[in-house]
Each structure stands twice: as C-alpha cells, then as structure tokens.
Amino acid sequence: MPRLGVGFIGSGFNARFHMQGWTGVRDADILGVWSPDDKGAKSAAAYCRALHVGDCTPYRSIAQMVADPAIDALWLCGPNQARLENVEEIVDTIKRGKGSLKGIACEKPLARNVAEAKRVKQLVDSVGLTTGYLENQLFAPHVEAGKKLIWARGAATTGRPYLARAAEEHSGPHSPWFWMGQMQGGGVLNDMMCHSALVVRHLLTRPGEPLSSVKPVKVTGHIASLKWTRPAYAKKLKAMMGPQVDYLKAPSEDFASLTIEFETAEGHTVIGEASTSWSFVGAGLRLSAELLGPEYSMKWNSLDSGLQLFFSREVTGRAGEDLVEKQNAEQGVMPVVPQEHLAYGYTDEDRHFVNVFLGREKPLLTFDDGLEVVKMLMTAYQSAESGKTLAFPPRGLDTFTPKVAQGTWKP
C-alpha cells in the first residue's frame, strides 16, 4: 500500500482538530509540523505521536518541510493573514528545485479577498500541484447521509430540492486575530459564512454533478454588530483578547446573513439561505442545515447530538470545552458532541484528501472551489455595504476589500 507523508503548517486549534480526525485516516502519517510558535509546533508534534497518527517532529521552516522527501503533501492551517506568504514559501522552494509535493490542502478561507485567492491559485498552478480545499462541513456524516437520502428517495420521485438553509453560530472565536478585521479579512461573514454558503450549494447540487450545475445568479448579504460593540461587551472583549482588539474603534460584524439565488442546469430557480453569528449564546457551537423540496425535508442541528448531561447547581468546576466546541456552561442540561472531529467532518474530509493525493479519488473540492467561495463572500460584503441585491459576479469583485477589512466599517 502506498503511504502519504503529511506536514502541517500551523499548530493551533484547527490543526489539532485535523490531528484528532487523523485517527480515522489510513495510509497517511503526519510527519511534520511548522509554525512560528516553536512551543506550539513541539506540542502539536507530541500530540500527533500520542494519538499515534504519525512519528511527527517540528520543522524549522516551511522550506525545510517541503525539502524533506518524506513529506508528500501539506495541510495549510495557518491564520488567514499568513496564507499568501505560506504559499509563496512553498512554491518558491519547489521552483528552486529544493523539494517536491504531491498535493496541498488548504483550510477555509482560501484567502482574505479575491485578489489574494487568485494569487494563491496562480502560485500553486505554476508548479502543477494537486489541490484540495478543506471544507469539513461537506463531509459531516449527517450532512452526507441526509443529502444522499433526500436525493435518492425524495428528489428522485417528486422533484429536486428548492431551498437549502445552513447556519454556523457560536459566542466568538478563540484567538485575537479572528476579531481583527484588518488581519483576518473581515468578521464573522469571512470567518464562518464560507462554510454555510458552500453547504447550501452542495445540498442543492445533484449527487455526482459539479457545483457549477447550480449557478449563483443573485446575492443579498447583510452584516451587523449585535453584541460586541455594546460598550460593556467591547470592554470584556478587550480584556479577553488584548488591547489590540478594540471594538469601539475597529469593530467587525458579529452577525451575517446571505441569500443566494441559484439557477440550475435545467433553468429552475433555487434558493440558499445562510446565516452566521459570533453573538449566539447557547450550549456551544451550533451547526445546522436544512434541505427542502416538494414532498420532503431534512434538518440537522449539531447540538441535537443524542447525548445530554445534567449537572445540578451543586456541581462546580473549571470552565472547559470538554462537552462541545465553544462551550458556554458547565451546569444544567448540556448536550455533548462526542468525537467532534468526526461529527464536524474532519475525519472523512482528511481521508478523502489523502486518497486524492495518493491518486485514488478525484477531489471533491479544489482551490477553484475555494476561490469561488471567496467570490461569494466578497459579493455578500459588497451587497451588505450597498444595501442592494447584486447580480453575481458583481463589477469590481477582483479588487474589492470589505470596509471591515480596511478597518473603516461603522456599524
């Protein structure tokens, strides 16, 4: 059996989710990790070894990782603002003849705006790399099973689905850079709408057909700051994230909604509705999706996990995330999401892209899809800023940067 040696760029929250997910991946080992934070890289490498997902060691640089013949593919899990420079270093190393790769997989978003995303794609294309765009929710077992059954039973006998809904909501991200529009590229729309915008399109796409068979034609976006610019919460955020996160001076949106009108290959209009929030307070991260057609519907809510615990007010302890990602409480009735890496799709996603880079499967998502998602997000910002529904793609998309990303947004 051929095996794939994999290196990780970034050793934070997301990289560790992939590492957990790797326990369900065959024929590939995580052998390397690089991040500018030495301690983080060392501890992520130790985490991989403890999980038995590879004899992982930290590397001194991206170039050193690319140059190692044991590393066949990279998973890009650094922060958004480092995406382009990370890709530049990878491609430069390959161009100098110092190393080669079979493929590269990149976390969402592919980049912070269309110009950057095009540059990322152009760079990897210039060295002929196979690409994978990492959108875990498409691989979430509930989404996969629901889509398959809805299309096989409901759509096959009564007609295609016409409405898909998706939402991702939590109480706010874990690292300061997410909150800083000029670093991250936007607020919650840029951070989380990439998932929901693609989930609705994926659900509306007939299995086996490309996403391009459901073409976006009109986009309406809306953004707002509902919670974190309230003075008391802006102060709290600064205390939690540091003085550089000042929502009274440079806020990002903490709520976004998006309506996409699609045209199908047969000329039907179908609708995708997506919403995302950093101002949602519930048990923890809530992912949801719906797909509706003439005689059927599906719904998924990740907090309806099938396991609930109850802790009386006598039960006290440290705040944690041991029940669910972005957990907000440790008392009362609490849902638990066991094996979150599996439930959110990381395991199946990573297994798929390992198979892609080993030449066994065609990629479900490539950097072309990542670029298309960035175009959708930038159109949503453009629509939100103008207060208008826009035909997709709108004029000026290639050079557009959201006001939130420029640090000039006034909610």
Ligand X SMILES: NC(=O)c1ccc[n+]([C@@H]2O[C@H](COP(=O)([O-])OP(=O)(O)OC[C@H]3O[C@@H](n4cnc5c(N)ncnc54)[C@H](O)[C@@H]3O)[C@@H](O)[C@H]2O)c1
Which of positions 128-187 make contact with ligand X (CB under 6 A)? 136, 175
Rounded Cα distance, 58 and 134, in Å? 23
Which of positions 120-139 make contact with ligand X (CB under 6 A)? 136
Which residue number has the CB closest to ligand X? 12
Q: Binding residue for ligand X (CB under 6 A) from 13, 233, 296, 311?
A: 13
Based on CB atoms, which residue is closest to ligand X, 23 or 158? 23
- Contact segment (CB under 6 A) with ligand X among 13-21, 207-215, 277-285, 296-304 equals 13-21
Which of positions 29-48 make contact with ligand X (CB under 6 A)? 35-37, 40
Query: According to the binding rule CB under 6 A, does residue 329 interact with ligand X?
Result: no
Q: Binding residue for ligand X (CB under 6 A) from 46, 51, 67, 82?
A: 82
CB of 265 vs ligand X, minimal distance in Å: 29
Based on CB atoms, which residue is closest to ligand X, 10 or 402? 10
CB of 213 vs ligand X, minimal distance in Å: 25
Q: Binding residue for ligand X (CB under 6 A) from 3, 46, 79, 100?
A: 79
Query: According to the binding rule CB under 6 A, does residue 14 interact with ligand X?
Result: yes
Based on CB atoms, which residue is closest to ligand X, 196 or 401? 196
Query: According to the binding rule CB under 6 A, does residue 190 interact with ligand X?
Result: no
CB of 160 vs ligand X, minimal distance in Å: 28
The 100-119 contact track toward ligand X, x by CB under 6 A, reads -------xx-----------
Which of positions 293-312 make contact with ligand X (CB under 6 A)? none
* Residues lying near ligand X in the complex (CB under 6 A): 9-15, 35-37, 40, 77-80, 82, 86, 107-108, 136, 175
